[in-house]
Amino acid sequence: MNADPHRFAKRLGHDFARPELLIQALTHRSAGSLNNERLEFLGDALIGLVIAEALCERFPKADEGTLSRMRASLVKRESLAALARELRLGDALRLGAGELRSGGQTRDSILADALEAVLGAVYLDAGFERARSVVLRLFADRLEQTDADRADKDPKTRLQEWLQSYKRPLPQYLVLSIDGDQHDQTFIVSCQLQDADMATCGIGTSRRRAEQAAAQSMLERIRHG
């Protein structure tokens, strides 16, 4: 393990009564048979339910299709991986030697799955209400920024529209690196504002996903000044 899991638990904001659940949630299948796949299954369902409930409460007039698109945007792999990075979850992961060598602790799929597993572990450790509270706190900023009118628009489109509204030039996207085998590649892409000294990076399993992640990071940077 790269870091003390208890430090991660503090960043998460939950003190595990059964720390073995946290250890299991942070263990990738490459590191052993007692891994986080079952907890991931549980956490995926938990996050989907909690976010669906929150969206229904926040947007009482939104139809099913709009609610589904908003939920999909909030709980998609890239969004979960971004949250995991904010928590520095990768520092606490238990990975097999091969995954460590290939940088598995930075891969979207592994980070997103591990975050789902961690939240599944919180549910088993302390029950639904506690797990619900943790999920809502983690997603609070993203829920606040969710707009039913923009549910169909991806981050690149939203960034482009924001820049155009201020008559600013469109951003430039540049592929910084491509790692991994042909069937399992990781792209790192930068998003650069041409009229300002501002750049962000995004990571994804395709160039498009990496560009979207970089655009999302730029939007968040703009919002927070």
User: Which residue in 44, 99, 108, 125 is the catalytic one?
Assistant: 44
In the chain, which stretches have pLDDT less than 70? 1-3, 148-152, 225
Tokens of 152: 């169909």
Q: What's the token pair of residue 111?
A: 């980070």
Mind giving me the DSSP string for 75-118?
HSHHHHHHHHHHTTGGGG-B--HHHHHTTGGG-HHHHHHHHHHH
Residue 166 located in a structural domain = yes
What's the pLDDT at 186? Answer: 92
Whether residue 113 is annotated as binding a ligand: the answer is yes
- Same domain (yes/no): 21, 70: yes
Q: Is 53 annotated as a binding residue?
A: no
pTM over 0.75: no
The residue annotated as part of the active site, out of 99, 108, 116, 211, is 116
**Per-residue pLDDT, 121:** 98
The answer to whether position 93 is within a domain reads yes
Identify the three-state secondary structure at position 175.
Answer: strand
Active site (annotated) includes residue 116: yes
Contacts of 89 (CB under 8 A, 6+ apart): 8, 26, 111, 114, 115, 118
pLDDT in tens, 163-207: 998 899 999 999 999 998 877 789 999 999 999 889 999 999 899
Say what the pLDDT of residue 151 is.
59
Among the three residues 145, 168, 203, which one is the final residue of a domain in this structure?
A: 145
Residue range(s) defining the domain that contains residue 199: 155-223
pLDDT at 149: 63
Q: Return the CATH number at 34.
A: 1.10.1520.10
Res 1: pLDDT? 44
Strand order in the sheet with 186-193: 172-179, 186-193, 198-204
The answer to whether 129 is annotated as binding is no
| Pair 168, 209 in one domain | yes
Tokens found for residue 17: 């009564």
